Structure 1
Amino acid sequence: MTAVNAPERTIELPPKLCLRDDLLLHPRGDAPSRCVLEDPRNQSFFRLGPQEQTFVRWLADGASPEEAWRAMQPNAADGRAANWPRESAAALCQWLTKNGLTAEAARSPVPSSPDKALPARWLSMLGHCYFWKISLCDPDRLLTAWVPRARWLFAWQTLLIGVAVLMVSTAMMVGQWSDFFACYENLLTPWRGLWLAIAWIGLKAVHETAHAGTCKRYGGSVRDAGLAWILLMPIAYVDVSSAWRFKSRWQRLHVTLAGVGIELFVAGLSLLVWNFTDHLPLQQAAADVFLLASVSSLLFNLNPLLKFDGYFALADITGVDNLSSYGQSYARYWGARYVLGLDRTMPPMPTGDPRWVKGYGLAAAIYRVFTVAGMLLTAAAIFHGAGILIAAAGAVSFALIPLWRLAHDLIELYRRGELFAARLAFRLVGLAALATLLLFLVPTELRGTTPAIVQYDPPAVVRAPLAGFVDRVHVQDGDAVVAGQPILTLRNDELRHQLAALIKERSQVEQEVRGARWNSDLSSLGDAQSRLIGLQQQTQQKQQEVDSLVVRAPGDGRIVARRLRTLLGCYVQAGDEIGAVGFEERKRLKISLSQREAGLSEDWSRAAVTVIVSRQPSWNAFVSHAESRASDTVPDDALLASNGGRLSVIQDDDRIRLCEPRLNAYVSLTEEQSLRLRCGQRASVRLGCQRLTLGRAIWDYFSG
C-alpha cells in the first residue's frame, strides 16, 4: 500500500525458487491459456490463470523468480502475461512455498514469523470449533468395481431425466400447494427431528455418491470421503478434485452438479409420492424429503457465495479461475478504500476487468458476515450456556483477531506517515454509530408463530344427563341441528325398571283410593290419596329422567363432536361431555402460548396479533382475554402433533398432557370472519408484542 506521491518501493523476489520434480501441469481443453497444477504427493489440485501458468513454466525450466518475472514484461516474447505486477509474482512465490510445492518447502516446514505466531495459534485453536474434518474411508476401490456396472446412473441423460421429473411433479402440484405446505405446521416439533436427521443422512449419502460416481465414470479418482463441520453445519464430502484434470468443461460441470441433480430428482419423486398417496404419515415424510432435497440444494449447494457446488460451477461456466481469491481481494480493497478511507491500489482482476467479479466479491463478503453472525447467534440461543462459549470463541476467531490484525496494520501505516488519522477517526466513529444503531434494531430472537384453533364462542356444551350405554347416534360431527333435535339415545335398563315399578305401585294405590271411596272409609281414603300424590310426583320425575335419555340439541347451530360415532355402544357417566353445539356467526380463536411467549407481554388483554389462516388473507386483531395461569391440559386435539398440529404431548397412565404448560388466550372474530372460518380449523398467530433487541439486552445486562 502506498500513499499519494510516495516513492514506489521495490518488492524483493526470492533469489532462487526450485519447484518439485513431481508436479504436473494439465492444460484445459476449453481454455488453453489456463491449466491445473497437480500435486500427486498430497492429492491436491490448483487452478492457474494465464499469468501464473507462464510464471510457473519459467520456474520449472530453471529460471529464477526475477528472471521469470522480467521475461513476462511487455518487451518479452510472450505477450499474454504482459503487465503482470511484481506484487503478484511475489505473492505467487509465497503461495508456492506455503503449499509445499517447492523443493525447499518439501524438505523443511516454513517457520512462522514471531509477531504472528500467537494469533495464528489462537486462530487455529478457536477455528476447530467451526471447521474440522474427519476422513472415513477411501472409496476409490469400491467405485472402481461398482461404477462400470451402473454407468447409466451417472450419465448426463440421467441428470436431465431428474430435472424433467421435478418439473412434471411441480406442475402436478398446481392448486395443491396450500395443502402441501400444511404438512410443515409441526416441522419444528421434537418428534420429527429423528426422521429429519435420518432423511438428511440418506440424502447426503446419495448426493456425495453421485459426485463420486460421475467423477469415476470420466476417469477420475476419489481418494477420500468423510464428514466435515463448517460454521456449525455438518456436511458430508468426497474428494473429487481429480476432476480438475479433465480437459472438458462439460465433464467438470457434470461432476460438480451431479449431487444437486440427484437431490432434485429425489425432490421430484417425493412430490409424486405426496400426490399419489392419501396416507398422512407418508405424505408428511415425502414433504420432509422434498424440503431437505430442494431447500438444501438451493440455499447451500447451488449458492455461489459459498464454496460449494454452485461456486465451482460458476467458476467453470465463466472461465474465471480463482474467483474466490479475486472477490476477496476486491472486497478487502473496497473496505480499505471506501470504508476506512485508506489509499489502496486496485488488486489484479481477471482479463477484461469484469464488474460482476467485483460485485461477487462484495456480495460474498456481506453474505459471509451475516452468515457467521447468524450462526453465532443461533448457537447462543439453542445451546444456552455452551452456546455462549461457542459464540464467544467465534467472536474472538472471526472478529477480534481480524480487528487485531487491522489495528496492527494501521499502526504500521501511521508510523510510515501513510495514514490520515483524522479521516480514519471520522469514519470509525460513523461505523461505530451505525453498528450501535443496528444493535438496537436487531431482535434477540426471530419472530415466529404460535398455533391457534377456531372455536364457537361460546359453545353450548352437550353433556350426558344420566349414566348409560349409547344406544343410537342420530347425527354426525358437523351436522346442522335445530333446538330439540335428538343427538343420541342412551340406554339405562335399571332406570326403566324403576319407572315401571313406580307405575305399577301407582296403579295399586289408585285401586286403594277407589276402594276407600266405595266403602266410604274416609281414613283409608286420605292415607291412600297422600301416597298417590307422592307416587305421581315420583313417576313424573322418573319419566323425565327416562325422557332425558334422548340427548337433544340445546339450540340451533352445528354439532361439534369428533368422537360421536365412536361412542356407539360405550358407557358414559352422568356429566360426561358428548360434544357442543355452536353458532356459525359467533366464533373465537383460541391461541396456545408457550411460557416464553407468554412472558413477552405483562398484560395480554388487548395485545396485538396477526392471524394467519391457510387460503385466507391474514389480518390484524387484538386479544380479548387470556387465562390467568398456564396448564398442561390439551387445548384442542387438532393442535396435537399426532393430528398434524404443532404441540407435543406425553402419555400418562390416565390421560394425555402437554410436554410443558401453556397459556390460552382468545381472539374474538367478527360475524363475517366467523362465517368464513370453520370450527376446528387450525390457524397460526404472529405475536405483535415488542421484541427485545440485542442493544437493549446488552444495556439491561450491564445496567443491572
Structure 2
Amino acid sequence: MGAAAIGMTTGPAAVTPVDPMDSVRLPPLREELHLLPAPPAVDGSPCWTIHDPVRNRYFRIGHGAFEVIARWHHGSPRAIAATVAAETVLQPEAEDVVTLYKFLAANNLTQGADVDFLAKQTAARRTSWWMWLLHNYLFFRIPLVRPDAFLDATVRYVAPFYSRGWLWTVIGAGVLGLILAMRQWDSFAHTFLHFFTLEGMALYGLTLLVTKTLHELGHAYTAKRFGCRVPTMGAAFLVMWPVLYTDTSDAWRLVSRRARLHIAAAGMLTELALAAFATLAWSFLPDGPLRSAAFLVATVSWVTTLTINLSPFMRFDGYYLLADALDVPNLQDRAFALARWRLREWLFGLGEEVPERFDPWMHRVLLAYAFATWVYRLVLFIGIALLVYHFFIKVLGIVLFAVEVGWFILRPLCNEVAAWWERRGSLRPNRNLLMTLGGLTALVWLAFVPVTGTIAVPSVWRAEGFSTLFAPAPSRIVEVLVQPGQRVAAGDLLFRLEAPELTSRLQQSELRIALAQDRIDRMLAARDGLDRVRVMEEDLAAGLADRQGLLDSLARLEIRAPIAGKVVDVADSLRPGRWVGPSLALGQIVADGGGELVGYVAENDLIRVAVGAGAVFHADDPLRPRMEARVTAVDRVSVKGLDIPALASTHGGPIAVESQAGPSMGRTNAEAARANLKPMEAVYRVTLAPLDRTQAGPAHQMRGVARVDGEARSLADRFWRTALAVLIRETGF
C-alpha cells in the first residue's frame, strides 16, 4: 500500500507516523461483486462466495470475513473490528481487518486506485519475453466458442439422458455388450485396427474428436442443468499436446457439493456410456474401420481418459472430484502449504504454527495427498522432459529438456531451499535439527569421499576351450565309444557313424570312374577318336575329385576328439541304429584347466580397470562359492556385438542390447547372432583368470558378476563424469 493508504504524512516535515489503525480509510468494495451463499465449513460455520463477474473468479470466505465485509462501510480497521466485536460473538483485531483488506486488494476486489499497490502488481506481472514464451509454451488455452446461448437453447433436448430410464439403458447395453464380447473374447482382444490407410486415419481422428467433444458437452450440459453459465469451450495445450476444455468455474456458485460432483464427473460418465454402446456395436459390425473405431471407444479411449482425468494429482476432473468430496477448496495449495510446514518441522523442528488446522484424519489425508502429488509430478515431468527431448530436433530438444527440468523440478526445490534460508535465524538446537545435520553430513561424506573401489563387470565363467560335436551329414550311429564324464585325448575316436546315401553315391562314383577309364583305354588302343580323349580325361578327373570328396565325407563319419578334455552332455538316447542330423549335438568336450572369466565393462569404468587387478566372481547361482580371479586382458576397442549371448538383455543378461536382424552375409548362425546383439552403450571386453588353477572348469558357462578392484571414486565424481560424457555425446552435432 502507498503512504496515503496507511495515513502517513509524506511531506518534507513528516516526523512521526500516524497509527494506521486509527487514520486509514479502507476503500469501498466494487459494486458489481456478488456475494453468494456457499457450503458450510467443516465446523458447521456458514461460508460465502465472492463472485467477480468481470474476471469470472470466485473467492470463498468464512464467517469472520463475512461479518467484517458486512460492516465495511465503517471505513477504518479499528472501527470495523470494534463494531463486529460489539454486534457478534466474534472478537477480531484491527490487524485481522487489515489482513482481509490486503487479500481483497491483491485480488482487485476494492474500488479506488492505490497507485503504489497497482504499480507493484503491474511490475509483478511484467515478465521478460523469454518468460512469456516459457509460460505459453508449457500451457496455454485457445477459446474456440462461447456456447452458453446454444446450451440454453438445447438443454431441454438432452433431458432424457439424465433420466433413470437412460441409466438402465446404458447399464443394459454395457452388460449385453460384455456378454457378447466375452463369447468372442479372442477375436475381441485381437481386433485389428484398420487405421493404416488414409480413410482409416481420418476415421481414427474423427472418432477421437467426437468422443472428446461429447466428453466436454457432458460437463457443459450438466453445468447448465444446475443453472451455471458456461462462458467458453476450446482447446488447451499442455506442452504442445492439445486437449479440449470447458470452463465450468461457475459451478463454484452452487451450494450443493453433490451438484459440483455431478458436473466434474459428467465427462467421464459420458465416455463410459459411449464405451457401453461401442462394446455392444462391436459384436454386430463387420470387420473394418468402423469396427476398429468401436473397439477404440470401447477400450483404449475411455481407459486412457479415466487414467488421465481421474488422477487427482493434476488439475483435471479427478482433482475437482477429490476437492469437492473432501470439501477442501484450493486443495493443492492448502495441502502443499501443510506438507511444506510438516517437512520443515521434520527437518528443523522450527516450532512454527500450523498454517491451517484440520481434523486429525483430514490432516493425514492432505499430507499423504501432497507427498503423493510431488512424487507423481516428479515422475511425470521427467517423462515429459525426455519426451520433448526425443520429439523435437536435437538442439531444441536439449533446450526444452533443460527448461522442463529447471522449471518444474529445480525451481520448486530452489524456492523451498530459499524459504529454509530465510528461517535460518529461527533455528535452535533440537533433536530434529541435529538429526538433519547428521544425515546431511553423512550424505555429503558418501557423495564426495571415495568409498566405491570395485567395478561390477557382468561376466561368465567358462572353460578355456570347448568343442561341440556334430554329425557332418544325416547319418546313422554305428557305435558309441565314449561315456559322459570320460576324459579323452585329442584324436580319440568317439562315435562311428554310417551314411548309406554317401556309400551309394561312392559306389556310383567308382562305377563312373571305371567306365570313363575303360573308354579312354579303348580309344587309345584303337587310335580312333583321339580328339575326344581330352574330354574324357576331364570327366575322369571330375569323377576322381567327386570320389575323393565322398571318401573325405565318409572319413568324417568317424567323430574324433578335436581337443583333449572331458566329455559332457552325451544324451542317453544316442544308441547304435539311431539317425542323427547335422543340427543335433552329439556331445561336448570341455578342456582341462580352471577355465576363464569373460565379461564386459562400461566405458565410464574402463579407465579404472587395469591388467593384474584382483577380482572376485559371484555366480548367479547362490549355492556356488565366490571365486578369486585376476584381470589378464582388457580390450581398448569397444565391441560391435556381444559374443556371449548369455550376457545380453534379450537372453536375460544385464547388458542392454538391441537385436538387429539382418542377412548373415556368409557368416555362420553363431557369428550372425553375435553380430546382431549390438550393445546400447559402449562396452569393452575384459578377460580374467581364476587364481586357483587346480580347480576344474565348469561343464557349462556360468553367468555372474566379477567385482574388480579399481581406483576408488566418489559418487559425485562418478555422477559428474557420467553427466559430462552424456552432455558431450548429445551435443556432438
Q: What's the TM-score, normalizing by structure 2?
A: 0.53
The structure-2 alpha-carbon separation of the partners of 1:257 and 1:334, relative to structure 1 and needing over 3 Å to count, comes to same
Q: Tell whether 2:88 aligns with 1:77.
A: yes
Q: Look up the SS of the partner of 1:201 in the other structure.
A: helix
* Partner of residue 380, structure 1: 389
Matching of residues 514-533 of structure 1 within 5 Å: none
TM-fit CA distance, 1:132:
0.9
The answer to whether the 8 Å contact 1:331/1:362 transfers is: yes
Cα distance change on mapping 1:266 and 1:51 into 2, 3 Å = farther
Q: CA deviation at 1:65?
A: 5.0
8 Å Cα contact 1:413/1:419 also seen in 2: no
Equivalent-residue separation in structure 2 for 1:215 and 1:39 (angstroms): 19
The equivalent position to 1:358 in structure 2, one of 355, 363, 367, is 367
Q: Which amino acid aligns with 1:33?
A: P
Work out whether 1:397 is the aligned partner of 2:407. Answer: yes
Shift of 1:91: 6.1
Q: How many residues align?
A: 472
The one-letter code matched in structure 2 to 1:295 is V
The counterpart of 1:238, out of the listed 239, 246, 254, is 246
Tell me how far 1:630 sits from its aligned partner: 3.8
Is it true that 1:201 corresponds to 2:209 in the alignment? yes
Give the structure 2 partner of residue 700 of structure 1: 725
Q: Does structure 1 residue 103 correspond to structure 2 residue 142?
A: no
Give the letter aligned to residue 320 of structure 1. V
**Superposed CA offset, 1:605-624 (max 9, x none):** 6256899xxxxxxx96999x
* 3-state SS, counterpart of residue 59 of structure 2: strand
Corresponding residue for residue 370 of structure 1: 379
* TM-superposed deviation, 1:253: 2.3
Q: One-letter code of the match for 1:318?
A: L
Q: Determine which of 642, 650, 656 is the counterpart of 1:603.
A: 642
Letter aligned with residue 248 of structure 1? S
Q: Which of 49, 52, 55 is the matching residue for 1:36? A: 49
For 2:206 and 2:305, locate their aligned partners in 1 and report how far apart those are by CA, in whole Å: 17
- CA distance change for structure 1 residues 51 and 118 in 2, over 3 Å: closer, same or farther? same
Amino acid at match of 1:234: P
CA–CA distance in structure 1, aligned partners of residues 662 and 98 of structure 2: 69
SS at the partner of 1:103? coil
More RCO (CA 8 Å, sep 6+): 1
CA separation of 1:424/1:57 partners in 2, compared to 1, >3 Å: closer, same or farther? farther
**Residues in 1 aligned to 2:205 and 2:643: alpha-carbon distance in whole angstroms:** 37
Determine if the alignment matches structure 1 residue 20 to structure 2 residue 30: yes
Deviation, 1:409, is 3.6
Aligned pair in 2 of structure 1 residues 88, 382: CA closer, same or farther (>3 Å)? farther
Report deviation, 1:218.
2.7
Q: Which amino acid aligns with 1:375?
A: I
SS at match of 1:338: helix
Measured at CA, do residues 337 and 627 of structure 1 come closer, stay the same or move farther in structure 2, by a change above 3 Å? closer
Change (3 A) 1:35 1:117: closer
Paired AA for residue 377 in structure 1: L
State the distance in 2 between where 1:86 and 1:197 align: 60
Distance 1:609 1:71 in 2: 80
Rounded Cα–Cα distance in structure 1 between residues aligned with 2:64 and 2:663:
71
What is residue 315 of structure 2 aligned with on the other side? 307
> Deviation at 1:44?
2.1
Q: State the Cα RMSD in Å.
A: 5.2
Q: 1:66–1:130: structure 2 CA closer, same or farther, 3 Å change rule?
A: farther
**Cα distance per residue 1:452-483 (max 9 Å; x no partner):** xxxxxxxxxxxxxxxxxxxxxxxxxxxxxxxx
| Secondary structure of 1:209 counterpart | helix
Q: 1:367 to 1:43 in 2, by over 3 A?
A: same
User: Aligned partners of 2:50 and 2:238: how far apart in 1?
Assistant: 26
The answer as to 2:236 corresponding to 1:228 is yes
Contact 1:329 1:347 in 2 (8 A): yes
- TM-fit CA distance, 1:324: 2.5
Q: Which amino acid aligns with 1:388?
A: I
Secondary structure of the equivalent of 2:219? helix
Output one character per residue of 1:321-344: Cα deviation in whole Å (capped at 9) or x when no partner. 332232121122123332566553
Task: Choose which of 399, 406, 412 in structure 1 pairs with 2:422.
Answer: 412
How far did 1:302 drift? 1.9
Aligned AA (1:606): P
Question: Which range moves more in the overlay, 254-263 or 372-381?
Answer: 372-381
Contact 2:160 2:166 in 1 (8 A): yes
Asked if the contact 2:311–2:318 (Cα under 8 Å) also holds between the matched residues in 1, the reply is yes
Aligned equivalents of 1:87, 1:432: Cα separation in 2: 45
Deviation at 1:396, TM superposition (A): 3.0
- Asked if the contact 1:609–1:622 (Cα under 8 Å) also holds between the matched residues in 2, the reply is yes
**How far is the alpha carbon of 1:127 from its aligned partner?**
2.0
Rg comparison, structure with higher value: 2
Label 1:85 to 1:303 Cα distance change in 2 as closer, same or farther (>3 A).
farther
Q: CA deviation at 1:265?
A: 0.9
Instruction: Report the CA distance between 1:162 and its aligned residue.
Output: 4.0
Give the 3-state SS of the residue equivalent to 2:137 in structure 1. coil
What SS is found at the alignment partner of 2:120? Answer: coil
CA contact (8 A) 2:155 2:221 kept: yes
Distance in 2, Cα, partners of 1:176 & 1:255:
36
Residue pair 2:38, 2:49 contacting (<8 A) in 1 also:
yes
Distance 1:429 1:156 in 2: 64
1:276 is the counterpart of 2:272: no
The answer to whether the aligner puts 1:289 opposite 2:297 as a matched pair is yes
Name the CA distance, whole Å, in 2 between partners of 1:432 and 1:100. 48
Q: Which of 327, 333, 358 is the matching residue for 1:319?
A: 327
Contact 1:135 1:225 in 2 (8 A): yes
Aligned partner of 1:219: which letter? G
| 254, 264, 278: which one aligns with 2:272 | 264
Unpaired segments ≥5 residues, structure 1: 1-11, 437-582, 587-598, 612-618, 633-662, 667-692
- TM-score of the two chains, using structure 1 as the length reference: 0.55
Q: How does 1:100-179 map to 2 (within 5 A)?
A: 100-104=108-112, 110-112=118-120, 123-154=131-162, 158=166, 161-162=169-170, 165-166=173-174, 168-170=176-178, 172-174=180-182, 179=187
Deviations 1:136-188 (A, max 9, x none): 12111222222223332355764665466445534554476565444489999
**Structure 1 pair 279–408 and aligned structure 2 pair: CA distance change class (3 A):** same
- Change in 2 beyond 3 A, CA 1:53/1:379: farther
Residue 453 of structure 1: aligned partner = none
Aligned match of 1:329 in 323, 337, 343?
337
Residue type matched to 2:382 in 1? A
Instruction: Give distance in 2, aligned partners of 1:314 and 1:93.
Output: 30
Aligned to 1:656: none
Tell me the CA shift for residue 86 of structure 1: 9.7
